[in-house]
Structure 1
Amino acid sequence: MDSLLKSDQFRIHREAVIPQESAGQRLDQALATLFPEYSRARLQRWLKAGMLVVDDTSPKGRTPVQGGEHIVIDAELEQEGPVLAESIPLDVVAEDDDVLVLNKPAGLVVHPGAGNPDGTLQNALLHHAPSLAAIPRSGIVHRLDRDTTGLMVVAKTLTAHAALVEQLQTRSMGREYLALVNGQFTAGGTVDAPLGRHPRDRLRMAVRNDGKPAVTHYRMVERFAAHTLLRCKLESGRTHQIRVHMASIQHPIVGDPLYGGRLRLPPGGDETINQALRSFSRQALHAEALTLIHPQTGETCRWEAPMPADFAQLLEVLRGVHSS
């Protein structure tokens, strides 16, 4: 593998321009936003080694940016760190030489990190396809929260990786989610509210005037006595976006441990429904559909993943009373 990592096959060339809205940020922060597929540590190494240049210079990471700077990366793609392959079952929906589409279950963390050094999707992918060790983050180009279920796409080549990242950044990749929220809606709508890190709780995100632009479109799928099933479509892809946006309009996702607040039981005292809501201990959010342009063939591809059993069972219980 070491010899492969040193070949031209695993060199990358990327160019980008720092957007004006990043003006005033530190360079390392702006680069992390511009190239989210690479870790900050890797970007810093490239900057120090002269493999990442800013207007033909190599400034320090703490240097503030003005916006409009031209970034060029011409680097050798070394392995990020000691992420080990582990035999963890994967629900593969589709796979070819360029992409892998999978249906992530609840409880599976995407990347190793503090508190989750192993047992993650990245560990599983390296066992499934060892060649992914040469791709940034083992080919993972977007994430789902630990307890969010549904479709994810993984790039199996550097060419596919660059193409999929570009589709994410240009918002040409379509992602649709099913979300069961508290309260009733009478119509669909849009939440257009910038998101950033919560000022006091670093585990949470929040609507902030100085946050990154975030837009979520939603429409009704089914309405219950005290809940609504929504189909949400992302125009951007921020951390916890749907969860924060729904909570911000006073319709948090059922079971959400971070943004849902205390358990809301519907009026009427139906114990079957109350017990079902009490026992559903994760956010009721499922990435149902994924649409993208295949990086090799140029064809538009779409996949759908069925709702997981626990989510479907909760809806059946809610249908036992009133739905419309």
Structure 2
Amino acid sequence: MMNAKAIRLLLLVLFGMLLPSAAFGGLPRHAPSLEGSTPSPWIVAENGKAEAACLIGEHPGISDSDARTTARILCDELRARKVAVGQPVTAAGSATSAYRSTLERLGASLILTFTYESPVGTTVKSQRIQLSGIEEVPTVAPRITEALLTGKSLTETEEVGELVGEETETFKQKRGRYLKGMGLGVITVPGTGVVGAPALDLHWFYETPDFGLGTNFRFGGIPGDNALLYLNWSLGGRYFFTRRNITPFVGGGMFGHLLTVKSADLRSNDDKFSDTTAGIGAYLAGGVEFLRLYEAHLTLEVRVDLPFGKLEDQGESHYAVPISLFLGVSF
């Protein structure tokens, strides 16, 4: 037979199993554990008490009302992303963390900086963007908030219709110079007896510090027993070896020409070799350009024309290679 003490113990056990644990001040069986639930300043706490301060930062030259509105818009975006943050204030008070917006002027533009501080005064993350005016704050607020919370760059948050300030400006390019000018020179056709025929050059070039691209029109000639008529239009480029005031260069390109040569040296009898040819060819050039740092440039160039055809007369053919030396000025 069970004694009285054993009976009382059994009754207590049975009674405890029948009553809910809450009767003894405990938690319900399915209550969530609070372990590890310390509120994060980035996420709204369930009890709503862990709020970061929404600080109105420095804003020299910008009205207090504009600065307050900017802070409110940014902190509204934080709350829309379930971040616990208070209303705009100028001091953090008892808050241990803060989101701070500052505005600064840069000429006609505004620089908006949005930072997260923890503890207050110690920047953990920061994003900055240049605006054309204070009116662009509502447009950029979702993007700068997303960038601050996720660590993305502002470029990664760009979307059509949401570009502001510096993002909408035409990007700057390195530009060259347009140069036009003229030159005087002489033309020699080796093997024909044509030496030092005077010629005129008209040219137009676009030059960068390293390259040039342009066109030339040259014409010249000389009468006599060894006569020349030279008309040439060319397209080509140049490469400059340095960026200094005086630099050597090489070049080349294509041309179309009309070439007439009359030469007594090409025949042993009294008849002169005479032919006019029209065609195309390639040329090679080299020289020196002077005064590149000034408005007017001087160019000394030697050029060799290599036609794709030959001169022919009475069954005879000769390959004529005009070589020219020109001194030109460009401005």
Which structure has more relative contact order (CA 8 Å, sep 6+)? It is 1
With the length of structure 1 as denominator, give the TM-score of the two structures.
0.19
Which has the larger strand fraction? 2
**Higher alpha-carbon Rg:** 2
With the length of structure 2 as denominator, give the TM-score of the two structures.
0.19
Which has the larger helix fraction? 1
